[in-house]
Chains A and B, each alone.
Chain A
């Protein structure tokens, strides 16, 4: 998934994916707050998983690109788990928590 996320960013920023190294900061990559939210929008479109809201909350604490990729991937995987759980037989009988129960 990391390479796919890098590809999304590289296309948006019009740079070679190899330039997007984990240690670089958002400032290094000239990613301002609007670029950041647009990139997260592209991620949501591709994975059909909500990441914008959580990533926006964390943006100012994010140290580098590696952290962006890790947190984004975590959110996508968490959403997949929740979606799978809500689609399980237990969920259909109402015994599982709603997918968005923890916000």
Chain B
């Protein structure tokens, strides 16, 4: 069968989301994310999978229960890392919600998945075994591939259109979704499975993060472990997540009787890398403006932003200033959500799970974990503003347009724009 890409669209199509699958610290499934996020709870708990006694950070948002072994045959288990199994579970859920038959989508569907660290368990296990002169299984190399989640979805659904693995750190799944939007918009495929997955770090990876001294050392949940945009914020903690969105052309979805949950109406990505780690105002402003331009939106149309909000000193100050720079006098009217306070920083899966949160927020007309971004600023002339005690406040909103920001080490900045048709 001919599976060559057919970039036939002369007019860009509207790209809609018809299904979402999520695994997060709140549990397996989109419903668990929605229940947790909009009830103001946090999935951040004391870490169970690692011994952190010698480290600074002790909290994270691990999946409470996940055993993906049943998703694959026993013969395949040596080739699939946990992160790939998480992606499979999320994709199965997303396809079911979209009403698409997994056995039928292959010829006209592709996949774009992001991950920051990919199959960390497999890589650490192989390194340890090799260092002790132990044998490695013949298929070890397959389990170590950074494109594991993407390849797992390709194999499961026999996808025949384009497939790419994005590894741009904490913006990886935003880039994956942006690429998927382009592919569907211009007719390269009817359906694209797009999102990201990152398993909870291994001991080596977690220790490396800990050494960077930007993770929260807080241990009192009642005072808040991770507090984006709070003047007393003290860094992030890591979350574990996989999220897959089913993207398809609006006419394709409508023709088969599916109900679009939201449109992804724009995607913008820019680069600004004066250093590998230092965030920049130019990058943040550039990404948001690029997404607005791609969507053909006036800034005043935006009523909700899912902030990157890492609870680090400079990120939050600059993101706050960037929102003011892009939206000017309209900025105070925007409901800004900082979901990482509830989900942790889900690394390469963060943009995808926050895309799901953004769509839920628009569908519910509620902003979860709402913060006041004006409480912080990088401008020394202004200084931090007084703010209310930190909590996971869900507030009503009235808008059909939202943005979701993702910024990453390496100077990668990406923003996605979403639209819903309000009832």
14 residue pairs bridging A and B, Cβ less than 8 Å apart: A13-B75, A14-B75, A34-B79, A34-B139, A37-B139, A38-B75, A38-B78, A38-B137, A38-B139, A40-B138, A41-B137, A41-B138, A45-B135, A52-B138
Q: Is the CB of B138 within 8 A of A37?
A: yes
Given the complex, which residues of B lie within 8 Å of A13, measured CB to CB?
Answer: 74-75
Q: In whole angstroms, what is the CA distance A14 to B79 when docked?
A: 16
B142 beta carbon closer than 8 Å to chain A = yes
Q: In whole angstroms, what is the CA distance A5 to B78 when docked?
A: 20
Q: In whole angstroms, what is the CA distance A13 to B78 when docked?
A: 13
Given the complex, which residues of A lie within 8 Å of B142, measured CB to CB?
Answer: 34
Name the interface residues of B141-155: CB closer than 8 Å to any CB of A.
142
B73 beta carbon closer than 8 Å to chain A = yes
Name the interface residues of A43-83: CB closer than 8 Å to any CB of B.
45, 52
A23 beta carbon closer than 8 Å to chain B = no
A4 beta carbon closer than 8 Å to chain B = no
Task: Report, as a range, how many residues of chain B touch the other chain.
Answer: 10 to 19
Q: Is the CB of A34 within 8 A of B74?
A: no
Which of B74, B79, B135, B138 contacts A12 (CB under 8 A)? Answer: B74
Chain A residues packing against B (C-beta within 8 Å) = 12-14, 34-35, 37-38, 40-41, 45, 52
Q: In whole angstroms, what is the CA distance A38 to B76 when docked?
A: 10
Given A13-B75, A14-B74, 4 additional A-B pairs, CB 8 A: A12-B75, A38-B138, A41-B137, A45-B135
Q: In whole angstroms, what is the CA distance A3 to B286 when docked?
A: 67
The 9 closest A-B pairs by CB, nearest first: A37-B138, A14-B74, A35-B75, A41-B138, A34-B139, A41-B137, A38-B138, A38-B139, A12-B75
Chain A proximity of B305: nearest CB distance (Å)? 45
Q: In whole angstroms, what is the CA distance A35 to B135 when docked?
A: 17
> Which residue of chain B has its CB nearest to the CB of A52?
B138
Chain B proximity of A8: nearest CB distance (Å)? 12
Q: In whole angstroms, what is the CA distance A12 to B78 when docked?
A: 11
Q: In whole angstroms, what is the CA distance A35 to B75 when docked?
A: 6
Q: In whole angstroms, what is the CA distance A6 to B306 when docked?
A: 56
> Which residue of chain A has its CB nearest to the CB of B137?
A41
> Which residue of chain A has its CB nearest to the CB of B138?
A37
Given the complex, which residues of A lie within 8 Å of B75, measured CB to CB?
Answer: 12-14, 35, 38
Determine which residue in B79, B137, B138, B142 has the highest number of CB atoms from chain A within 10 A of its CB, and name it. B138
Given the complex, which residues of B lie within 8 Å of A12, measured CB to CB?
Answer: 74-75
Q: In whole angstroms, what is the CA distance A90 to B67 when docked?
A: 55
Q: Is the CB of A34 within 8 A of B73?
A: no
Q: In whole angstroms, what is the CA distance A14 to B142 when docked?
A: 21
